[in-house]
Structure 1
Amino acid sequence: MQWLKNDHWVKPDLKRYRWLLFWSLALGILTFMAAGALMFTSGYLIDFSARMPLFAAIYVPVVLTRAFGIGRPVFQYLERLTSHNWVLKVTSHMRRKLYQVLEGDAAFLQAHHQTGDLLSLLADDIGHIQNLYLRTVFPAVVAGGLTLIATLLLGWFDWLFALWIALLLLVQILLLPWWSLLVEKRRKSAQKRLNQEAYVALTDSVMGLSDWVITHRQAAFVDGAVAKPRQLAASMQRSKQFQWVRDLIGELFFGLIAVSFLVWTSKYWTGGKLIADWVGSFVLVVFPLNQAFSGVAQGVSEWPTSRDSLAHLNALTPVTRPLPKQLPAPADVGTLTLSHLNFRYDQASAPLITDLSLTIHRGEKLAILGPSGMGKTTLLQLVLGDLTPTQGEVALAGVNVLAYQAQRSSLFAVLDQSPFLFNTSILNNIRLGNEQASDEDVAAALQAVQLTDLIAQLPQGVNTPMAESGFDFSGGERQRMALARILLQDAPIVLLDEPTVGLDPLTEQALLETMFTVLRDKTVLWVTHHLQGVSRCDQVIFLEDGVLTMAGAPRELAATNARYRRLYALDAGEA
């Protein structure tokens, strides 16, 4: 039970919602007790009516049958409401905790965890813990409670028979689950691992899809993407075959319980006409209880998956960074200075930024170029304060930007190649930049980014709903809407992380024209892959392996740097 000792995901919620858990389990036991009582009174009613079909004589069993018939679905409904409310509260709290951990330092998590691992956490692990309660804990406790109650009630009449029935029920709640766990333990852990590896393989393949296409290895891409799912499907098929055999054995043992009741009642309750009416009662009560015991073995067999999910979550520790005392945003942002900046994630990893120094004055435009994976986006994360430099600092008006993290949205705005647009109206999406903005402010921002004519053509104008991620608009239109949001945010420094990737040349040129027009008074750091449009910038720098290899004004580099001229010609298709 070492996992429980070190657990900080399950134990807090067990304590927080303990009474809700208690009533969930109590109502579950009452549901099956009412079902058993319904069959008990029904059996008595059938036997008694056959011998003495007088309404006055059977009035009490009729009333009890109706009462238990109503009680069973009522208790079941209340149990479902209570148990699902408990589980939803617990998993909601877990998801919120998980999102807080992931949000706490997304840059470090992204560096230390593959995307597929994070998807597995979000999509599977919380769900497995939810199933731990619904399919393992609840059925096992309810079945155990019913076993105790049945043993005590039967013991009132015959302790030897009560112990025999208890032994057969223990087969259902102990022996079969133990056998199922023993057989499925490694298989379930392997299925969890294969599922996680399938996430990793698929996300890695999709994110590198262009590389697969360029190298004409589409077949290898497909084979790699489906290999783990095929292994997972084969393993799950073997699990289903075992489950069929195990469930058949469980049904046979429950059939033995019914036969045992037939034998016992034929001896114990047939000594006279008056007591023979109880034979049907005791035999029929067995059948509705089968449902309470049938799912226990399957739930316990899933414990290795739930345990691995718990271990996965408990291993995910938030990355905390010491930050200086937070200061109010400066009235004048002034100059942005990068002084001898160095960064690596840890001592074992390669440096991503090496001794980089820059000065960007207020209102200047800086273009950051270089091959993929050379530190451009890392540099923006350092400027934002998402990452803490290994050495050196990023300063705004002479103060480390880490001291402004509480005020970051008032200082920095970000536009990347995939802006966040949500399934709500255009007005609400734009107003995310400034929730206090008036309709007139939104209209002015839309006009500045040249979307007024488009909005006028829509059936509901600015109140037209958008699909998730804005997929009902073109790439250029989505970027203009995100740009309008930035205008409402009115941050003095704007970071552009390849916002024109994937756009056709005409749309790209038009968007660049709009961006540099509406952001003319802002300080702009623009990460781009090519040189088209850099003439609009005051400075251009090249990063290669995190090292500054070329820097200067575009005109100066064009006049004095042969490499710059060659790269410009290649980028323009002139060489």
Structure 2
Amino acid sequence: MKLKNILFGNDWISPFLKKNRSGFILSIFLGTITISMAGLLMFSSGYVISKSATKPENILMIYVPVLFVRIFGIGRPVMHYVERLTSHNWILKITSLLRKKLYLRLEKTAVTLADRYRLGDLLGVLNEDIGNLQDLFLRTLFPVLIAGSLSVALIIAGGFLSLWFAFGLAIFLGFLIVILPLISLKFTVKLDEELKIYRNQLFSHLTDDILGLQDWVLSGRKEDFLTTYRGSELSARKIQAKLLAFGRRRNLFLQVVYGALVIYLMIWSSGILKLGDAPNYIAAVSLAAFPLFDAFSPLSDAVVETNRYGDSINRLNALPDQDEEIRSEEITRTDLVINNLQFYFEENKKIFNDFDLEVKKGEHIAILGRSGVGKSTLASLIRGDLIPQKGEITFSGVEPSKAKNVEEKIGVINQSPYLFATTVRSNLTLAKLDATDEEIWEALELVGLLKMVESLPQKLLTPVDEAGERFSGGERQRLALARVLLSDVDVVILDEPTVSLDPITENQLLTLFFERLRDKSIIFITHHLLGVHQMDRVLFLENGSIKFDGKPAVLLESNPTFKQLYQLDLGNE
């Protein structure tokens, strides 16, 4: 991918450059001034050394040059600090905007990402690609543009002294800025591509393997896992060693070119500067070339890395939801209406076809059906995580996919509520950021966890293990309920929340759920009938539509299918 396309052929770079160009231009200007001050410092120092060696008649003869040495000696680190402060502040602001843009794209299609991306690939996008865009500015654009602006200034300044001098300087600088970076790109692009593929594969495979590490250990294949990983790592390191070897040879050649540039400056200045005080400028002109090494030496690496940036932009552009629709509406009332719903992941396999459903505010319904019939898909549609191909889902006229307050109105407790590797308090306040300790303790008491949390070493500040492994399944479900109670949502979707629990714990939790959520709308998705007698209605899904819908007691008396399911669930033939 060419640098022009990287900068202007996407919506990840050019929009941010246009909106924040003043900070970008200021960073380039400050970088150029920093290198210029370094050159002027060496120029002044060279003159002072030469002038002092000729034993001037009076110390005042070198007072002004010494003053310039002090000015540029202090000015260079100050300008360098200001330049770094400005450029890094700018790039951190841009990176923040890039991450926000990325998360907005991922958030609206979070449910379907698992079908489109492996977890390792997705983590690679989040971790590496945004970092590459940050490096694009810091390691490519800034060095290239600073070196370019500095070269133009040097050639123009040299032209005032001699056109032949400016021409010779242009040849050296052209070789450093254009020819050597292009040669580096030609010789390293293939190796860099192979290394990038290896790294992406390692990241993806290692993520998957770590998630299944317990299976590797239980199957007695830990050594196979380590051998496979070490082999891939060794291959990547061999390629990296070749790149490093080429880099060392290139840097050696670069230093030879700089040596030739210094010799050229010495020959030119000794041939031109002969009379009066002029010979003292020979060392000054020659020494002024040394700081240029800091400006031009990173260019070859910067150009080589553009290929990696191009791939990152391609992956980011391939993410779903290009339009980034902003949610602007608000759900005020929570009467659910579904009309003529059609939804499918594959066009020839419809999950719902002309599906209709109404749920009044405060109503409790249970949704039954065989595995794969679409119960959890319906929950995602109701939450606005999925968008139907046809029909509408609204809460009093507002589509959940367009509502900015959907998280404040609809809560979910599923089979495996996730707990993050932070404190108990932080896990609970995800639902309400400004929740007080009193509110948290009250929620914990309502779900029966007050004594358990009080017994923890640091109580609410006790760290939770990754994914909440220190808690049992029932305790994690209770913590999930506490989060819902803190959020004070109006609609709660219970998506088979007790499927992996033992019967006693399952019965206790369902009783607790229905008791604590009795004043809210409940959509209870389940594959068996424990607890459905506490619902206002029971629905059975089949072939994309509702096979029956009614009160549990009435269905038990009048519906043979429901009666048979109920008996099977009790273990009766």
Amino acid paired to 1:303: T
Is the aligned partner of 1:25 residue 2:22? no
- More divergent stretch after superposition (275-284 vs 193-202): 193-202
Partner of 2:380: 381
CA drift of 1:92 comes to: 1.6
Give the conservation status (yes or no) of the 8 Å contact 2:339–2:356: yes
Amino acid paired to 1:448: L
442 and 142 in structure 1: CA distance in 2 versus 1, 3 angstrom threshold: closer
Give the conservation status (yes or no) of the 8 Å contact 2:331–2:403: no
Identity of aligned residues (%): 34
Amino acid paired to 1:268: I
Partner of 1:9: 12
Aligned equivalents of 1:217 and 1:111: distance in 2? 28
Task: Give the secondary-structure state (helix, strand or coil) at the position aligned to 2:10.
Answer: coil
Partner of 1:484: 482
Map 1:272-283 onto structure 2 (within 5 A): 274-283=277-286
Give me the TM-score of the superposition, normalised by structure 1. Answer: 0.81
- More divergent stretch after superposition (415-424 vs 232-241): 415-424
Task: Give the secondary-structure state (helix, strand or coil) at the position aligned to 2:302.
Answer: helix
Aligned equivalents of 1:519 and 1:192: distance in 2? 51
Amino acid paired to 1:139: P
Task: Give the secondary-structure state (helix, strand or coil) at the position aligned to 1:286.
Answer: coil
Aligned equivalents of 1:359 and 1:488: distance in 2? 27
Task: Give the secondary-structure state (helix, strand or coil) at the position aligned to 1:274.
Answer: coil
Give the conservation status (yes or no) of the 8 Å contact 1:329–1:404: no
Is the aligned partner of 1:138 residue 2:142? yes
CA drift of 1:39 comes to: 1.1
Which sections of structure 2, spanning at least 5 residues, go unmatched?
A: none
Aligned equivalents of 1:286 and 1:300: distance in 2? 23
Give the conservation status (yes or no) of the 8 Å contact 2:385–2:401: no
Task: Give the secondary-structure state (helix, strand or coil) at the position aligned to 1:344.
Answer: strand
Amino acid paired to 1:60: V
Amino acid paired to 1:73: P
Partner of 2:248: 244
Is the aligned partner of 1:98 residue 2:102? yes
251 and 559 in structure 1: CA distance in 2 versus 1, 3 angstrom threshold: same
Aligned equivalents of 1:410 and 1:197: distance in 2? 39
Task: Give the secondary-structure state (helix, strand or coil) at the position aligned to 1:275.
Answer: coil
Aligned equivalents of 1:346 and 1:402: distance in 2? 23
CA drift of 1:414 comes to: 1.0
Aligned equivalents of 2:329 and 2:454: distance in 1? 44
Which sections of structure 1, spanning at least 5 residues, go unmatched?
A: none
Give the conservation status (yes or no) of the 8 Å contact 2:419–2:468: no
457 and 24 in structure 1: CA distance in 2 versus 1, 3 angstrom threshold: same
2:297 to 294, 299, 302: 294
Is the aligned partner of 1:316 residue 2:314? no
Amino acid paired to 2:480: A
167 and 508 in structure 1: CA distance in 2 versus 1, 3 angstrom threshold: farther
Aligned equivalents of 1:17 and 1:322: distance in 2? 23
Partner of 2:344: 344
CA drift of 1:499 comes to: 4.1
Aligned equivalents of 2:95 and 2:517: distance in 1? 44
Partner of 1:418: 417
Task: Give the secondary-structure state (helix, strand or coil) at the position aligned to 2:11.
Answer: coil
CA drift of 1:155 comes to: 3.6
Partner of 1:285: 288
Give the conservation status (yes or no) of the 8 Å contact 2:330–2:398: no
Map 1:398-547 onto structure 2 (within 5 A): 402=400, 405-416=403-414, 417-419=416-418, 423=422, 426=425, 430-434=428-432, 441-457=439-455, 464=461, 466=463, 471=468, 474-475=471-472, 476-500=474-498, 511-527=509-525
Amino acid paired to 1:313: L
Aligned equivalents of 2:364 and 2:338: distance in 1? 15
Give the conservation status (yes or no) of the 8 Å contact 1:341–1:393: yes
Partner of 1:162: 166
3 and 566 in structure 1: CA distance in 2 versus 1, 3 angstrom threshold: same
Task: Give the secondary-structure state (helix, strand or coil) at the position aligned to 1:181.
Answer: helix
Amino acid paired to 2:94: V
147 and 486 in structure 1: CA distance in 2 versus 1, 3 angstrom threshold: same
Deviations 1:84-115 (A, max 9, x none): 12212222211111111222333344444443
- More divergent stretch after superposition (161-170 vs 314-323): 314-323
Q: CA RMSD in A?
A: 4.3
Deviations 1:141-174 (A, max 9, x none): 2222222233333344443233223212221111
Task: Give the secondary-structure state (helix, strand or coil) at the position aligned to 1:107.
Answer: helix
Give the conservation status (yes or no) of the 8 Å contact 1:360–1:366: no
228 and 359 in structure 1: CA distance in 2 versus 1, 3 angstrom threshold: farther
Across the two proteins, how many residue pairs are aligned to each other?
Answer: 562
CA drift of 1:122 comes to: 1.6
CA drift of 1:215 comes to: 7.8
Aligned equivalents of 1:324 and 1:466: distance in 2? 34
CA drift of 1:245 comes to: 1.8
Aligned equivalents of 2:329 and 2:211: distance in 1? 37
Aligned equivalents of 2:391 and 2:191: distance in 1? 50
- More divergent stretch after superposition (37-46 vs 221-230): 221-230
Give me the TM-score of the superposition, normalised by structure 2. Answer: 0.81
162 and 518 in structure 1: CA distance in 2 versus 1, 3 angstrom threshold: same
Partner of 2:67: 63
CA drift of 1:493 comes to: 2.8
Give the conservation status (yes or no) of the 8 Å contact 2:383–2:401: no
Aligned equivalents of 1:74 and 1:409: distance in 2? 49
Give the conservation status (yes or no) of the 8 Å contact 1:415–1:499: yes
Aligned equivalents of 1:450 and 1:413: distance in 2? 20
Give the conservation status (yes or no) of the 8 Å contact 1:329–1:410: no
Give the conservation status (yes or no) of the 8 Å contact 1:393–1:400: no
Partner of 1:149: 153
Aligned equivalents of 1:240 and 1:432: distance in 2? 46
Deviations 1:543-573 (A, max 9, x none): 899798999969959998778877876xxxx
CA drift of 1:49 comes to: 1.4
CA drift of 1:134 comes to: 1.0
Partner of 1:76: 80
Give the conservation status (yes or no) of the 8 Å contact 2:6–2:13: no
1:35 to 29, 33, 38: 38
8 and 468 in structure 1: CA distance in 2 versus 1, 3 angstrom threshold: farther
Give the conservation status (yes or no) of the 8 Å contact 2:373–2:544: yes
Aligned equivalents of 1:79 and 1:14: distance in 2? 18
- More divergent stretch after superposition (428-437 vs 438-447): 428-437
Partner of 2:366: 366
